[in-house]
Amino acid sequence: MAMTDEELFLASMGDVVPLAKSNQAELAQIKAEPTIAQLEKRKAAEQALSLDVNFLSTEYVDLLNPHDILAFKKPGVQEGVYKKLRLGKYQIDATIDLHGRRFHNARNALFEFIVDCHNGNVRALLLRHGIGLNSKPVPAILKSYINKWLQEIPEVLCFHSALRCHGGNGSTYVLLKKNDEQKTQTKEIYAKR
């Protein structure tokens, strides 16, 4: 007589003993040495992290209207200095065009530009960012972030939207603090009097 599937299964499993109850599985601990390629990748990643000193925010920003005027002055900045900047009376020493750049590209370019200018004794800057009428996903997104980022940078004393001849509300004048070298020169000049 032929056996059913269930009888065949029970017959073949008749001499099987259940395993001892344990909540842990034994895994072989194999420690493979990292390859040269893995070591190089790790080294490159660590260097990239250590080199990325860009602290500019990528978090939420209060959105501006494309035609809004950007205006900011740190406490202690003299009104005359701010007025001179606002009226475009400082000679522009350096300019950067961020118009049309993607968010992270603009963020990195602005940060590097400000650091380079400060280290290179450049104080009066012009940023061209556009008003952002057609920017996606919302209008004036880059302009809104420029406003936020400039306030986060300690080297920035003040900034104001530019005059029409320099780009109007699509551009911004920025005045940087003096670096240590410039401060020393100023002290020497006034010490001679």
Here the CATH number for the domain that contains residue 127 is 3.30.1370.110
The answer to whether residue 59 sits within a structural domain is no
Decide: pTM greater than 0.75. no
Total Cβ atoms within 10 A of residue 145: 22
Alpha helices in 64-179 (DSSP H): 79-86, 103-119, 141-152
Report the residue count for the chain: 193
Give the residue among 41, 59, 78, 55 at the shortest CA–CA distance from 144: 59
Which stretch of DSSP H or E encloses residue 102?
none
Total Cβ atoms within 10 A of residue 160: 20
Whether residue 50 has pLDDT greater than 60: no
pLDDT (0 to 100) of residue 179: 83
pLDDT (0 to 100) of residue 177: 92
The answer to whether residue 131 sits within a structural domain is yes
Total Cβ atoms within 10 A of residue 150: 21
Averaged pLDDT of the chain:
86
Mean pLDDT of 117-140: 90
The answer to whether residue 181 sits within a structural domain is yes
Helices 103-119 and 141-152: angle between axes, nearest 10 degrees: 30
The answer to whether residue 191 sits within a structural domain is no
pLDDT (0 to 100) of residue 69: 95
CA–chain centroid gap for 140, Å, is: 18
The answer to whether residue 10 sits within a structural domain is no
pLDDT (0 to 100) of residue 97: 96
Separation of alpha carbons 109 and 123, rounded Å: 17
Which residue's entry shows tokens 């990748």? 41
- Phi-psi region at 168: left, alpha or beta (left = phi > 0; alpha = psi -120 to 50): left
Whether residue 52 has pLDDT greater than 70: no
Give percent of the chain above pLDDT 70: 90
Give the residue among 73, 74, 56, 82 at the shortest CA–CA distance from 142: 56
What is the tens place of the pLDDT at every residue in 141-173? 899 999 999 999 999 999 999 999 999 999 999
The answer to whether residue 132 sits within a structural domain is yes
The answer to whether residue 108 sits within a structural domain is yes
Whether residue 132 has pLDDT greater than 90: no
Mean pLDDT of 24-45: 72
- Output phi, psi for 110, to 5 deg: -65, -45
Number of domains in the chain: 1
Query: Domain range spanning residue 87?
Result: 71-185
Separation of alpha carbons 88 and 185, rounded Å: 25
The answer to whether residue 39 sits within a structural domain is no
Local confidence band at 193 (pLDDT 50, 70, 90 cut-offs) = low
